[in-house]
């Protein structure tokens, strides 16, 4: 079973932490390493041709935020018209099945294989060779994906019977129709990942992560067009599938001209004569195998959920849309900005390792500051989180509680899943794709095994409805993610030296989050009779303010940074006045 998140959902927004060792945070995480001398780090990174400041991660986060906001609008409209019906289950399964193309050949694999080589060539000033590598990778990707799309369309019935074995009759036939429609659009999104890798390596982050907004708009438009006209759910999801393909075309169309524009020369080819192209292919193979294993694990999840009753797959999909918010905003954004920077580091091995430690130390703290309260909110007030975002029409209060259980079960693995991306990026920057592969295989075996136990025997033992087994899937994924995180951290420390989150820092974050959860519970008692949008917003605001104030009181530097950025944008400040005049 895979992490509920991005491995099974397209990055288009349409495209699942605590200390891994429990209470002994001091033993689980190393002491904060001494920062490398500034001159050493600067000497190792100065030649890389991409942004080095936190502004890069901010641009990624802004783009992802816009995409995720529109993705939440898409999820809310989907929930309004489909709820947790059979049609919603079908649409959830049908969008996941072709995603193996994007997951095998998309951003994650290119991050491991293409970006490190391409960014290093840029840092060394070898533009002609970097253009040659980019053209060859584009051609090889396009040819391979075109072949797999054709095979996928022909083999759809077999794939559906394997992945969604709990579907039969009309539900199965509708899934087959949707998958065949969606395959070509998903293939196009692989080329979007190539564009994203090119632009990220050139320090152009914002457009890459905001382009998927058009994908979401196409789907929302189709849902509204059919929903307000009363189109039956089975016909509505078929219309939406065509909108997904249109959105994929638009999404690639937005980014491809910019990606080609930053290249000195764009000459697609299938050539592998270049040593650097062969290096990309060598790095690609273990990353591809790792992604393939993860994809099989994700399909196992789908198969498990298809046996857990009507609405189980849809509820899992809704929970993942919410779960992905902190993972995307605070994990993917930082990791995406960090990888080209780390890959472009040059100098002696000691200087490169010092640069990696300095970058990781800062980025890990930044990610943890935002992800820890997200996990606490999922546990304490997850029903209100789901209600504010999704509760409307066919998505009822009961559905919000169902999604809350899935979110709460995913919370223990949220921090490790997010910071694990940074550790993996560091391995990729070191041109090591095999170590993360070995660790991901361990996680997959654990998650598939634990997922079956938690989804099927556990509900029977507890005497609860089988539908609650979906929460068991996400809980098992989190436990397996903790094991992978521990392996990644230990393996990276052996390579570059001690790096991690300080114990005192983690205790401050979790203590503040626990206080915020308590205040949230008190606040919900005061506003319980109001509409969920009003009451939920009030409770979440109280939660966020409490967390910010508590972390400031405890002297967490990231808290003052957040407060400073907010204050700088207020009308009474000098920066706020400049923004207003602009």
| Least confident interval from 84-93, 178-187, 268-277, 487-496 | 268-277
What pTM was computed for the model? 0.69
Residues 443 and 450: beta-carbon distance below 8 Å: no
Q: How many CB atoms lie within 10 A of CB 249?
A: 15
Q: What would the two tokens of residue 125 be?
A: 């000033």
- Cβ burial, residue 492 (10 Å; 0-12/13-18/19+): buried
Residues 368 and 509: beta-carbon distance below 8 Å: yes
User: Residue 182: enclosing H or E segment and its boundaries?
Assistant: helix 169-201
User: 531 — alpha (psi -120 to 50), left (phi > 0) or beta?
Assistant: beta
pLDDT of residue 6 exceeding 60: no
Q: What would the two tokens of residue 193 be?
A: 């990942």
| 238 vs 194: CA distance, rounded Å | 28
What lies within 8 Å, CB to CB, of 580 at 6+ separation is: 571
Express each pLDDT in 444-472 by its tens digit. Answer: 889 899 999 999 999 999 999 999 999 99
| 454 vs 447: CA distance, rounded Å | 10
Assign 151 a pLDDT band (cuts: 50, 70, 90).
Answer: very high
- Cβ burial, residue 264 (10 Å; 0-12/13-18/19+): exposed
Express each pLDDT in 217-254 by its tens digit. Answer: 999 999 999 999 989 999 999 999 999 999 999 999 98
Express each pLDDT in 35-70 by its tens digit. Answer: 333 332 333 333 334 444 455 666 666 777 788 788
| 161 vs 128: CA distance, rounded Å | 48
Domain range summary for the chain, segments of one domain joined by +: 25-79+99-501, 503-582
Does residue 351 or residue 539 have the better pLDDT? 539
Nearest to 140 by CA among 278, 292, 268, 289: 268
Size of the chain, expressed as the number of residues it contains: 582
Q: End-to-end CA distance of the chain, in Å?
A: 49
**Positions of E strands within 478-582:** none
| 282 vs 279: CA distance, rounded Å | 5
Query: What does the mean pLDDT of the chain come to?
Result: 80
Nearest to 269 by CA among 147, 118, 138: 138
């Amino acid at each position: 079973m895979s992490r509920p998140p991005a491995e099974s959902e397209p990055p288009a927004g349409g495209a699942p932490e605590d200390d891994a060792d429990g209470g002994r945070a001091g033993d689980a995480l190393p002491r904060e390493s001494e920062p490398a001398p500034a001159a050493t780090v600067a000497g190792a990174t100065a030649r890389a041709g991409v942004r080095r400041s936190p502004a890069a991660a901010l641009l990624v986060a802004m783009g992802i935020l816009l995409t995720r906001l529109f993705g939440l609008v898409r999820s809310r409209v989907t929930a309004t018209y489909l709820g947790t019906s059979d049609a919603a289950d079908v649409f959830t399964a049908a969008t996941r099945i072709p995603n193996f193309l994007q997951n095998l050949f998309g951003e994650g694999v290119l991050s491991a294989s293409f970006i490190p080589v391409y960014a290093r060539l840029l840092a060394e000033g070898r533009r002609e060779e970097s253009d040659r590598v980019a053209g060859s990778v584009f051609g090889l990707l396009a040819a391979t994906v075109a072949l797999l799309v054709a095979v996928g369309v022909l083999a759809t019935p077999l794939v559906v019977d394997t992945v969604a074995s709990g579907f039969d009759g009309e539900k199965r036939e509708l899934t087959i129709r949707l998958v065949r429609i969606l395959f070509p659009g998903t293939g196009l999104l692989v080329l979007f990942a190539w564009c994203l890798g090119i632009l990220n390596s050139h320090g152009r982050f914002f457009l890459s992560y905001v382009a998927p907004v058009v994908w979401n708009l196409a789907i929302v438009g189709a849902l509204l067009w059919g929903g307000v006209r009363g189109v039956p759910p089975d016909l509505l999801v078929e219309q939406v599938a065509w909108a997904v393909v249109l959105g994929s075309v638009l999404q690639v169309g937005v980014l491809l001209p910019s990606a080609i524009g930053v290249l000195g020369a764009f000459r697609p080819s299938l050539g592998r004569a270049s040593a650097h192209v062969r290096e990309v292919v060598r790095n690609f193979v273990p990353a591809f195998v790792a992604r393939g294993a993860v994809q099989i694990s994700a399909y196992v999840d789908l198969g498990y959920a298809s046996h857990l009753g009507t609405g189980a797959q849809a509820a899992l999909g809704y929970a993942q849309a919410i779960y992905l918010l902190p993972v995307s905003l605070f994990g993917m954004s930082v990791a995406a900005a960090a990888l080209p920077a780390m890959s472009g580091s040059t100098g002696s091995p000691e200087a490169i390792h010092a640069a990696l430690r300095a970058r990781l130390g800062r980025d890990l703290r930044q990610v943890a500051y935002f992800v820890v309260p997200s996990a606490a909110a999922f546990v304490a007030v997850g029903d209100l989180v789901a209600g504010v975002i999704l509760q409307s029409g066919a998505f009822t209060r009961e559905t919000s509680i169902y999604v809350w259980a899935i979110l709460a079960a995913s919370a223990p693995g949220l921090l490790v899943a997010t910071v694990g991306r940074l550790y993996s990026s560091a391995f990729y920057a070191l041109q090591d794709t095999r170590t993360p592969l070995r660790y991901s295989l361990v996680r997959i075996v654990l998650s598939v095994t634990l997922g079956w136990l938690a989804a099927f025997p556990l509900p029977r033992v507890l005497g609860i409805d089988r539908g609650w087994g979906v929460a068991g899937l996400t809980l098992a994924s989190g436990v397996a993610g903790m094991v992978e995180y521990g392996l990644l951290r230990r393996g990276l420390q052996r390579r570059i030296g001690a790096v991690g989150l300080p114990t005192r820092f983690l205790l401050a974050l979790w203590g503040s989050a626990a206080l915020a959860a308590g205040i949230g519970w008190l606040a919900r008692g005061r506003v319980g009779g109001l509409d969920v949008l009003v009451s939920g917003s009030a409770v979440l605001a109280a939660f966020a303010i409490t967390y910010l104030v508590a972390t400031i009181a405890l002297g967490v530097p990231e808290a003052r940074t957040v407060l400073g950025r907010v204050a700088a944008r207020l009308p009474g400040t000098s920066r706020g006045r400049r923004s207003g005049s602009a």
